[in-house]
Amino acid sequence: MRATALSKTRPHFPLRRASRKKLFRYFVLNFFHFTTLRLKAKAIITMAPITTKKNNQTKKLVVDTSAPTENGVFDQESYVKFLNENIKVEGIPGNLGNLISVSEEGNKVVIVSTTKFSGKYLKYLTKRYLKKNQIRDWIRFVSIKKNQYSLQFYSVADEEEEADEE
């Protein structure tokens, strides 16, 4: 037989073209389905054991606002109000509930948290507050110790003395 005669003959598969496609899809999908199930079963067997999450311990952050409040530049009550309104818990601002508490103790603002609450987030919120009240150019947020922060004035006098000496 010649090649032209072979190409003109009907395929050996007895089904019509549409049903062949359906069967092909069926076999392909089932093949992938069963192989993924087998892979998932292996993954389940070889995975590390599931451990329970540790309960978050309470974290206490203290911000010392004595220097700016004594000069009358900084209003501590509005800062506490700003923190209460803008701290996000589970993506919702002001949703503190019993998880986070913000309070004043003299010239200090104390934040007690039982959920995730980082010092960087507190620094971010404080910078936002300072920028909103247009005092960011004079006051900076400084870390004193772990979980203890302070609002301090920029040391402009030292820079002026150095400039005069030169």
Q: Exposure of 130 by Cβ count < 10 A (0-12 exposed, 13-18 middle, 19+ buried)? A: buried
Note the pLDDT tens digit of each residue in 109-131: 999 999 988 999 999 999 999 99
User: Average pLDDT of 26-40?
Assistant: 62
* Contact by Cβ (8 Å): 102, 80: yes
pTM for the structure as a whole: 0.62
Was domain 59-153 assigned CATH 1.10.10.10?
no
Q: What is the mean pLDDT of residues 58-76?
A: 93
Domain boundaries, the chain: 59-153
β-bridge mates for residue 163, sequence order: none
Rounded Cα gap, residues 63 and 69, in angstroms:
12
Q: What is the mean pLDDT of residues 8-12?
A: 56
pLDDT in tens, 83-98: 999 999 988 898 888 9
The answer to whether residue 157 scores a pLDDT higher than 60 is: yes
Contacts of 18 (CB under 8 A, 6+ apart): none
Euclidean distance between CA atoms 149 and 130, whole angstroms: 15
Rounded to whole angstroms, what are the CA distances from 75 to 56, 83, 89? Answer: 32, 13, 25
Distances (CA, A) of 86 to 6, 39, 44, 123, 154: 78, 46, 42, 13, 26
